[in-house]
Structure 1
């Protein structure tokens, strides 16, 4: 797996990379490690591995120094993978006194709520929400879908952007999230 295109420092040679960290959802980590991910999609939806031992560039087959150490951040559960662990650490949830909500919404939706005292997480399928399932006037993110919304603080009038610049036919998931955020911000 070449990393040449990811190299942020032009004069750095692949064999000069001595440490790497791999982060991804549970399926991506399984695939990167060459572990079949089938268990994740089958009852009882468990991962084969959550805690990955430190590996080397050679063991991973990466074009970096063969003895470089490769860390994979741990996942929490089947659908709460290392990408969420990385997000929580990046957002500083483990250090904050204030109760904070962290969300990662894509094909699946993961939510982490908590502070340095406690954290709780859950995951669900989010794809149908982004395709408008169960939403009046909901639709996929295609031509005619409202994808972003702003609410004017002074007069509470909404402004929106439609995919394709045409008359709106409905609203997609990103439009719904933008609407909720704007409603929260304007009270």
Structure 2
């Protein structure tokens, strides 16, 4: 039975915030993929990208997803690029619900403008670059998603209620 909730979406769309709310109010254990990878590698994501490259980092994401497969009661906050690999999407679909959180480029910019742990944005932190990168990923995110949720101007509670409601509706269709 599908039990894990995988939160995907562009950086700054609210994955960590929503994961925290699902933990606090629905008793789920959080796995912050980027945080786990940083702890294991003993370096920041930015440094992993600099020293070992994006492909190495993406392989670490895939290995972590494989480890998590089969565990229950999780909410996994995925890195922004996690669903860009088809094998990652397959792993997520086998054990959970893939929830795509969306936001406008303007909202994302406001949420990440003071952050320095986003290697893909560090040199181009502006709305037009964010919009371009989001556009490149949009189709892959949508294809991976079981559920799509807009986060602009909404509370964590509203977003989580919608996630739970939509999962329950999909489960009712399966039963």
Would the TM-score normalized by the shorter structure come out above 0.5?
no
Structure 1 or 2: larger helix share? 2
Structure 1 or 2: larger strand share? 1
TM-score, with structure 2 as normaliser: 0.31
TM-score, with structure 1 as normaliser: 0.29
Higher RCO (CA 8 Å, separation ≥ 6 residues) = 2
